[in-house]
Amino acid sequence: MEMLADLLDSWLDLPAHAAADWSTVWAGSGAAALSGRADGRPLDVPQSMVRLAVAASARIAEVTARIGRAVDLDGPALLGERAALMGLTRRGDVSCGGATRLLQAEDGWVAVSLARDSDVAAVHAWLETSDICDLASGAAARTEAELVERGSLLGMPVAGLGECVSSVLAAGELQDAGPPVSSIEGLVVVDLSVLWAGPLCANVLGLAGARVIKVESSRRPDGGRLGSKDFFDLLHGGHESVGLDFTCAEDVDVLRRLIERADVVIESSRPRALRQLGIVAEQCAGPRVWLSITGHGRDDANAMRVGFGDDAAVAGGLVTTDGLGPCFCVDAVADPLSGIVAAAAVLTALERGDRWLVDVALARTAAVASNGPLTDISGLTIAPPRARPVTSIAARLGEHTDAVVAEVGGFD
């Protein structure tokens, strides 16, 4: 456990990155245009965030060059890919995507995401108001701790500004001994994750040569399918698609068989979701690496909390600030940043050998990235957001279900 953690923690100390002009790197990334208020100039961000994006992408390139097809990514530019494909811009105390807001509490600030209908419906119980337009006054009458506690009990994505101060980038728990991986080619990745961080990690592993099988609930598919088609294609193009009904015992058995045959499992649900199906990460004997991506972590204090990219970034203190208060930093930045950190961690674990449960929390990633001095992009040319080219189309939901089920001997 310590050996993997020590290796991951060493990323930010790589000599090759020490002399870089982080302000110039950031101004040219395309993502720099996404922080600040709509009617103001782009605001500066912590240099450590830029360093982490560069270091994680460098680690990915280094390991894939040794044991797979080399994957060369522009880490800082990845932070602006969704905005580039969806035409999103900076909006100050409203997230680029529009679903998350920064609200001033009685003694601090909180972020709340209202992307889901269930979260909008919970506002009344959270603030004791039925008027969603009255969020500001409702939040101002309560303390930050009260808002976070009430929101968490309601299953809402609510976070206090800077509440997470962890320095743990990715926690790795050793399961048992096993040989190192000599080649990524042909490794099977079962991707149970949704939205951005997990799919980005799966995308990287697929580019490196792994076979990626995306498994979705046939009743509740990945919400990313409802967003930008280009963005979904970018992350999932070339992957197989399996749709399963997780309320059906036969389908759950197929899922177990898939997991047993996987080299890597990626999931982004709260731990109880799979435990309710009788699947416990700590007890699965098949995968070399089990990657768990959560909003706030798998520990008892945070396992039930919900977190998305914008509110989790706020939890880690990863915001920008002007005279009016905090603004969101980039677009749901904890998501893509955690995605490339997770990919680097998985690759590190595969090359290291043994079997691992790797725990990446969006809020912890943001906390690591929020420290230290800011960039200085004043006077620099700010590049517009850009995305990698979309080279293949994502499979239809369940397009490969029958073939994969036959392969694992399911539905007997």
Q: Which residue has the higher pLDDT, 17 or 122?
A: 122
- What pLDDT is stored for residue 170 in this prediction? 78
Residue-wise DSSP of 295-358: SS-SSTTTTT----HHHHHHHTT-EEEETTEEEE-TTTTHHHHHHHHHHHHHHHHHHH-S-EEE
- What pLDDT is stored for residue 10 in this prediction? 61
DSSP strand pairing (325-328 vs 319-322): antiparallel
- What pLDDT is stored for residue 352 in this prediction? 87
- What pLDDT is stored for residue 1 in this prediction? 45
- What pLDDT is stored for residue 2 in this prediction? 46
Given a cut of 90, is residue 320 above it in pLDDT? yes
> Per-residue pLDDT averaged across 383-393, rounded?
96
> Per-residue pLDDT averaged across 308-327, rounded?
97
Chain-centroid distance, C-alpha 109: 22
Given a cut of 80, is residue 12 above it in pLDDT? no
What percent of the chain shows pLDDT beyond 90?
82
- What pLDDT is stored for residue 411 in this prediction? 57
> Per-residue pLDDT averaged across 191-203, rounded?
97
Q: Which residue has the higher pLDDT, 153 or 409?
A: 153
> Per-residue pLDDT averaged across 5-27, rounded?
69
Given a cut of 50, is residue 37 above it in pLDDT? yes
Given a cut of 50, is residue 200 above it in pLDDT? yes
pLDDT tens profile 41-94 = 999 999 999 999 999 999 999 999 999 999 999 999 999 999 999 999 999 999
- What pLDDT is stored for residue 130 in this prediction? 60
Q: Which residue has the higher pLDDT, 179 or 401?
A: 401
Cross-strand pairs, 244: 217
> Per-residue pLDDT averaged across 186-203, rounded?
97
> Per-residue pLDDT averaged across 251-267, rounded?
95
The phi and psi torsions of 207 (rounded to 5 degrees) equal: -60, -30
**Boundaries of CATH 3.40.50.10540 in the chain?**
2-91+165-408
pLDDT tens profile 164-176 = 998 887 777 666 6
2-91+165-408: CATH topology is Rossmann fold (3.40.50)
- What pLDDT is stored for residue 56 in this prediction? 93
Backbone CA torsion sign across 126, 131, 137, 141: negative
Given a cut of 80, is residue 225 above it in pLDDT? yes
Mean pLDDT of the chain: 92
Cross-strand pairs, 190: 213, 265
